Chain A
Amino acid sequence: MTPAGILMTALGLLWGLGGTVWLLRHRSYTAAQVPRFLMDLLGFPVELAQSVFGRGGVPYALLLPNMLIFGLFTFAPMILNVYVSMTGGPSIALFDRPYVGWDKYAGLFDCENLLVPKTCSNAGYNFWTGMYNTLWFVAIQVPVMVGAALLTALVVNRNIRGRGFWRAMFFYPVMLSPVVIANIWNWVLHRKGALNAALGDTTEAMTALAGLAGFDIAATVILAVVLMVVTLRSLGPDAPPLAWSFVFAALLAALVTWANPLSLIGRDGSGWLGVGLGLLLLWIVAQGHAARPALYAAAAVSAILLLSIQFDAVFAFDRYRPVNWLVTPKTGWAFFWLVFVFCWSHMGFYMLILLAGLQAIPADLYEAAKMDATSPFRAFRRITLPLVMPTLTVVVVLSLIRSFQIFDEVYLLTGGGPGRETFMVVQNIYEVAFASDKPDYGQAAAGSILMAVVIAVFTFLQLWLTRRQSDL
């Protein structure tokens, strides 16, 4: 038994036995008052503090257990980290570790070029690979998740039926454990799994559909009619309505993707061009100045594209080849699914917080905006966004800290693979200290401290950038 263990046992005995004796000497209990006696025994240190120091001693006694745990298991490790990072060897007796100074840090910085992990020593390679992957992950995942959470919160905050149901559904994955989530998604994303099967079926169905006689003519006519209706709607009598403009922009993006105008000059990327054009159109409409001309121009472009589409080419799919989503290297799919699964499982929580922020905005502001015939987009930018900013800041900081520490999902879904594509910094710390034959606690502690520095820098940068809006 360790000294600390003996100390704990002694304290426990003192509490139990000493408390019983003290209580029985100071108070009398009847047989029916056993529960009350147990309750008093539980609070024995508080009772003792009150009888020795008076009421002034009580708050300290009340705070003691909480602060003891914080001190021993949060603050002490924080400081110990520095000590451990300067010692070497595999010994787990704290004071039996040889002092090595800054060696462990030097090992991490032993690189020809810090930005290219391959040029580093072994320890440095693992650490910086993990660090850069994590930074990439945070840079992609935080905006995507906060954006999705805000959008969902805005939609749920509308006057819709069954708000409680939708809210609960989006929150449900937060309750699931990482292991369950990983098993579920491993099953769905397996090479022969449901996703590949569904994609294969869709491709087959599309090919079969496109093979029908007269399909291209029918599709062109239907698309033309839909486009006409949407154009008319979005060019309504007064200001262009944003919702219809959104549908129009989405149609435009789809059209550009299908018609593939960039193929004329032998380039790929028509899809991105379409999305860009759609967003540009939406932005112009939201600004409100040149909305009408922009919509007319977009309608003209759409008409030309529509006529130029050759449907037999559009719907000619190759046979679908199943993708091994989490295993195939150099495709980026493993990273993509990691971001997706992480958002899937955590978005609901941030959505709830944002929803609370949205519901705190007084409704009469929107009434006033409606009176002044403010467009919904403008109302969002001038009322919703500024007023939800404090909550948004909290959400960004929390999700930043949270996604910096990503471990469970990666470890269980991809194990850091394929290769080192999804190898994150916490996994590096875990493997160096706990999952190798020769644990190097000093190295892991040095890595933890560097990671803490990076997190602190990001958090304070974020708080400083939004210092006026923050309510942290």
Chain B
Amino acid sequence: MPPPPRRGAGMSLATYLSRTRGNRETAERIGLQDVLAYGYLVLGVLVILVPVLWTLFSSIKSERAVDSFDTRVLPIAQVETMVDGRSKPVWSWTAEDGTQRLVTKAGPTRKITDVATLEAPDQVFQVPKEALAPHEELRIATENYLDPILKRNGQETFNFLTYLGNSVFVTVAATLITLLINAMAAFALSKYRFRGRLTFTLLIVATLLIPASIILVSLFFVVWSFGIFGSLWGVIIPAAATPTGVFLLRQYMLTIPDELLEAARMDAASEWRIFWRIIIPLSLPALSVLAILSVIWRWNDFLWPLIVLISDPGKHTLQLGLTQFAGEFNSDFHYILAMTVVTLIPITLVFVWLQRFITTGIATTGLK
């Protein structure tokens, strides 16, 4: 049974609320430095999150609200109704005696505007402009998302499922190839002594210092002569071997004891089976860091796919499709915003799910 608290020895409320660590004897109060630190962090997170959240909230607003740059956070939309087969906004008209009625405009907006009630669209009468206010409701505009995805309302150009399929294919195939061949190279460099090991290591370091954008032009020639220009493989293969991946895996494999390999060799296992059965399972932590890095690189890749795949809309990745879409429909912000959100959701979910793993993994291993 715990002893009853001694009177007078309790921490004062202010100390309790403002301590940063320690028990009541060693409690440290929040100093000005802490206030500044938290202030900086909160400000930084606001700068990072507000644009993203603003995009998210804007993407569920109706076309009319987006086009008029309504800066309210909630998706408030003006109610629309069908008059003579055309969709018209509904206004709430406050008569002089204070009664309110729903009307639609029957002509251009002037000081005295022609309106008609919803019940009797043919009976046009005149009211002053000031007596009209938009009749609004809270509505999530799902059509922003559904129109391009289901190809309704003339939105045939954004083949979301094709783009998604291409992006997923490129990301998955490239990541699997990268993992396999980088692990093989790392295995050779970490567990064998052979002539030329230093040369190979230095060659791989050298590729770390060759920026991708200065070999664009001649890489185009090489990829063309291999006949993979214009196909998804032209995006997957050239960047499949990554120096970062080789070094990350090599550092990790160096910590695997050689005795395990010797024991397997005693049992007459072939070198490939040793790699597959011992090295791969034991390097899983490093492999998963590389897998995450590779997924980020490939999912977000832009310039090289732009060069290789741009001429064939059926081969566009999600990033390219979104660029083309935003370029074509420069003014249809509500669709662009919705598709932007759709594009950022997969990577955000991966991040939320694996964030601790990603940040610690990259901080300890991933330099590039």
* Complex: A5 Cα to B348 Cα, angstroms: 38
Top 6 A-B residue pairs of the complex, sorted by shortest distance between their CB atoms: A5-B227, A43-B272, A80-B218, A177-B300, A192-B69, A59-B188
* Complex: A83 Cα to B252 Cα, angstroms: 40
**Which A residues lie within 8 Å of B343 (CB)?**
177, 179-180
* Interface stretch (choices A120-128, A160-168, A278-286, A297-305): A160-168
CB distance from A433 to the nearest CB of B (A): 5
Q: Does A241 lie within 8 Å of B44, measured CB to CB?
A: no
Q: Which residue of B lies closest to A183 (CB)?
A: B340
Q: Which residue of B lies closest to A188 (CB)?
A: B51
Q: Does B207 lie within 8 Å of A74, measured CB to CB?
A: yes
Interface residues of B in 230-276 (CB under 8 A from A): 237-241, 246, 270-273, 275-276
Q: Does B238 lie within 8 Å of A69, measured CB to CB?
A: yes
Asked whether any CB of chain A lies closer than 8 Å to the CB of B182, the reply is yes
* Complex: A270 Cα to B224 Cα, angstroms: 59
Neighbour of A58 across the interface among B21, B213, B224, B271, CB < 8 A: B271
Pairs A–B under 8 Å by Cβ, sample size 20:
A1-B227, A43-B272, A63-B188, A63-B200, A66-B181, A69-B238, A84-B218, A152-B44, A160-B38, A173-B48, A175-B350, A177-B343, A177-B347, A183-B55, A183-B337, A184-B52, A193-B69, A246-B36, A405-B214, A444-B216
Interface residues of B in 55-108 (CB under 8 A from A): 55, 58, 69, 71
* Interface of B: prevailing SS: helix
Asked whether any CB of chain B lies closer than 8 Å to the CB of A109, the reply is no
Given contacts A172-B351, A178-B300, contact A80 B272 (CB under 8 A): no
Residue-wise interface mask of A (331-375) relative to B, using a CB-CB cutoff of 8 A (1 in contact, 0 not): 000000000000010000100110110000000000000000000
Asked whether any CB of chain A lies closer than 8 Å to the CB of B113, the reply is no
* Complex: A426 Cα to B192 Cα, angstroms: 41
Q: Does B209 lie within 8 Å of A159, measured CB to CB?
A: no
CB distance from B227 to the nearest CB of A (A): 3
Asked whether any CB of chain A lies closer than 8 Å to the CB of B152, the reply is no
Neighbour of B303 across the interface among A73, A174, A408, A449, CB < 8 A: A408
Q: Does A401 lie within 8 Å of B211, measured CB to CB?
A: yes
* Interface stretch (choices B138-146, B282-290, B353-361): B353-361
**Which B residues lie within 8 Å of A166 (CB)?**
41, 45
Q: Does B363 lie within 8 Å of A69, measured CB to CB?
A: no
Q: Which residue of A lies closest to B341 (CB)?
A: A180
CB distance from A199 to the nearest CB of B (A): 11
Residue-wise interface mask of A (71-96) relative to B, using a CB-CB cutoff of 8 A (1 in contact, 0 not): 01111111011011000000010100
* Complex: A376 Cα to B36 Cα, angstroms: 15
CB distance from B221 to the nearest CB of A (A): 5
Q: A77-B215, A184-B54, A401-B209 are in contact. List 6 more A-B contacts (CB 8 A).
A: A2-B224, A69-B181, A73-B219, A75-B203, A92-B224, A445-B217
Q: Which residue of B lies closest to A44 (CB)?
A: B272
Q: Does B326 lie within 8 Å of A94, measured CB to CB?
A: no
Q: Does A50 lie within 8 Å of B271, measured CB to CB?
A: yes
Asked whether any CB of chain A lies closer than 8 Å to the CB of B212, the reply is yes
Neighbour of A80 across the interface among B221, B238, B368, CB < 8 A: B221
CB distance from A19 to the nearest CB of B (A): 12
Asked whether any CB of chain B lies closer than 8 Å to the CB of A70, the reply is yes
Asked whether any CB of chain B lies closer than 8 Å to the CB of A247, the reply is yes
Instruction: Give me the interface of B with A, judged by CB distance under 8 Å.
Output: 20-21, 31-34, 36-38, 40-41, 44-45, 47-49, 51-52, 54-55, 58, 69, 71, 180-182, 184-185, 187-189, 192, 194, 197, 200, 203-204, 207, 209-228, 237-241, 246, 270-273, 275-276, 296, 299-300, 302-303, 307, 319, 322-323, 326, 333, 336-337, 340, 343-344, 347-348, 350-351, 355-356, 358-359, 362-364, 367-368
Q: Which residue of B lies closest to A455 (CB)?
A: B211
Given contacts A50-B271, A164-B359, A247-B32, contact A183 B213 (CB under 8 A): no
**Which A residues lie within 8 Å of B246 (CB)?**
66
**Which B residues lie within 8 Å of A8 (CB)?**
226-227
Number of A-B contacts (CB under 8 A): 298
Given contacts A77-B219, A94-B221, A430-B216, contact A169 B188 (CB under 8 A): no
Q: Does B226 lie within 8 Å of A56, measured CB to CB?
A: no
Q: Does B356 lie within 8 Å of A169, measured CB to CB?
A: no
Q: Does B209 lie within 8 Å of A459, measured CB to CB?
A: yes
Given contacts A2-B227, A183-B326, contact A65 B181 (CB under 8 A): yes
Q: Which residue of A lies closest to B276 (CB)?
A: A39
Q: Which residue of A lies closest to B300 (CB)?
A: A177
Q: Which residue of B lies closest to A409 (CB)?
A: B302
Neighbour of A66 across the interface among B21, B52, B185, CB < 8 A: B185
Q: Does B71 lie within 8 Å of A176, measured CB to CB?
A: no
Asked whether any CB of chain B lies closer than 8 Å to the CB of A170, the reply is yes
Q: Does B209 lie within 8 Å of A80, measured CB to CB?
A: no
CB distance from B241 to the nearest CB of A (A): 4
Q: Does A62 lie within 8 Å of B188, measured CB to CB?
A: yes
Asked whether any CB of chain B lies closer than 8 Å to the CB of A4, the reply is yes
Most buried by A among B69, B237, B238, B359: B359
Q: Does B213 lie within 8 Å of A426, measured CB to CB?
A: yes
Neighbour of B37 across the interface among A75, A160, A404, A459, CB < 8 A: A160
Q: Does A62 lie within 8 Å of B275, measured CB to CB?
A: yes
Q: Which residue of B lies closest to A48 (CB)?
A: B272
Q: Does A155 lie within 8 Å of B37, measured CB to CB?
A: yes
Asked whether any CB of chain B lies closer than 8 Å to the CB of A115, the reply is no
Asked whether any CB of chain B lies closer than 8 Å to the CB of A99, the reply is no
